[in-house]
Amino acid sequence: MIGAAPLLTAAPGPEPPAAPVSIARCASYDEDVTARLATLFNQLGGIDGLVRNKTVTVKLNMTGSPGIRFQGQAPGLTHYTHPKLVGATAYLLGRAGARRIRFVESPWATAGPLEDVMLDSGWNVRSLQSAAAGVEFENTNALGKSKAYSRFKAPGNPYMFPAYDLNHAYEDTDVFVSLAKLKNHDICGVTLSLKNCFGNAPASIYGDDAGVDEPNEKPTSGREAVLHNGKRQPSRSAPPELHPGSSREPGYRVPRIVADLVAARPIHLAIIDGVESIAGGEGPWIKRIRMVKPGVLMAGLNPVSTDAVATAVMGYSPRAVRGTAPFRTCDNTLLLAEAHGIGTTDLRRIEVRGLPIEEALYRYDT
């Protein structure tokens, strides 16, 4: 019944929007990643109109401590977005006229500068800074460079929280980009441009050691107690859950929170790094993971459509329901987001440009 709920709520509304998704072959990070990404953007009609003279905020995927690695590999080769793709994104955004490019992430258990986490991940921060004018970095686990949090109301009928208090960077921007990795996720089945935004939630408010009344500006833990398991509420400074009697199961909660977050903070451009990645989970702490080389990059102007195509490239149905791979123990985040009216998961309505899905297909379940 739980799995059917989103489909039931989605049915009566108008058809959710669709947008083209482009796919390009990129066999390794030693290739000209910038050229491949530029091709993707061109196939989408270019990004100049989207970003010229704008502030662009790019949410990275740097999940887990940079010290925890799979077989000693650099995180960009396994579970983080690769720094070369990050650099290429900065360069192309700058070339398209972006006035300010702000890379954001809420990294594991720290509110320190994001640059430190990047350095600890083996990224060359100086190269990133010189990739374009106006490059900035912000750790969104706490207040950061602002004096107040921004409240993002989830429109319509949110699933879990009426609103989320986030770092100012998610508000002080004209364009929001989700730069994700093509991975499975232990709880959510897949983690793509939508699930990447789970990290928008600051640990200061939604972390295990968040303050009871006010945010803890020096968080040192993850978000399991508040968001994954619902064992406690966020700091009282932020709105509490809508339905405290609802399921505490992570497979129920996390997909809904992600759908709410993306409805509250819309994604204008989704980019998915499937050059090299991992299958079987989202990070080295998941014991069944293995390294994979799908050799693809993807981009789209609608995150649900982009994730639908990416899910298909991974060998799954983007409309699969709970109990079906990859959503074996969870609800389908894509369908929940579709039900919010964010975008369609219907591959028949999504125009794929560049490499067809059939040619890009890389089955994550073997």
Partner 1 sequence: MWMRVLRWGAVLGLLPLLHAAAPPPSDWVPMRWPWSDPASLELLSGTPINCLLLKTVLPDFVQAAAARGVVTLAVLAPDGDVAGAARRAMAAKVTGIVIEGDLPEGAATVREAAGGAPVIELTARSRMPLGSNAPILGTYQGVWPGIAVEADGAKKAAPTGSVWIDTNTGFIRAVRAWGGATLWMANQPPPKTVVTGARYLEVVADAAISGARWVLALDDDFTARLARREPKTMADWKRIADLLRYFEQHPEWRHMQEYGKLAIVQDPAKGGLLSGGILDMIAVRHTPVRPIPRQHLTPEALAGATMAVNVDADALTPEQKEVLRDFTRSGGMLLTGPPGWKDQSPQGDKITLDKAELERLNDIWRDVNSMVGRRNMGVRLFNVSSMLSNLLAAADGKTAVVHLVNYADYPVENVAAHFPAEYKRATLTTPEGVEKSLEVYPTEEGGGVDIDKVLVCATIKLEQ
The burial class, CB within 10 Å (0-12 / 13-18 / 19+), for 14 is exposed
Residues of the shown chain interacting with partner 1 in the complex, contacts defined by CB under 8 A: 65-69, 71-74, 108-109, 112-113, 116, 119-124, 126, 284, 287
Smallest distance, partner 1 to C-beta of residue 304, A: 33
Smallest distance, partner 1 to C-beta of residue 68, A: 7
Smallest distance, partner 1 to C-beta of residue 209, A: 12
Residues 318 and 308: beta-carbon distance below 8 Å: yes
DSSP 346: -
Closest CB to partner 1 among residues 147, 287 = 287
Cα–chain center distance at 266: 11
Of 300, 270, 358, whose CA–CA distance to 19 is shortest?
300
Smallest distance, partner 1 to C-beta of residue 229, A: 20
Closest CB to partner 1 among residues 108, 170 = 108
Closest CB to partner 1 among residues 61, 302 = 61
Smallest distance, partner 1 to C-beta of residue 130, A: 12
Smallest distance, partner 1 to C-beta of residue 111, A: 10
Write down the number of H helices and E strands in the chain: 11, 14
Closest CB to partner 1 among residues 120, 172 = 120
Smallest distance, partner 1 to C-beta of residue 118, A: 9
Residues 158 and 260: beta-carbon distance below 8 Å: yes
Closest CB to partner 1 among residues 121, 345 = 121
DSSP track, 223-251: SIIIIIS-SSPPPTTS---S-TTS---HH
Closest CB to partner 1 among residues 121, 302 = 121
Of 88, 174, 173, 80, whose CA–CA distance to 132 is shortest?
88
Of 162, 126, 164, 171, whose CA–CA distance to 144 is shortest?
171
Start-to-end Cα distance in the chain: 29
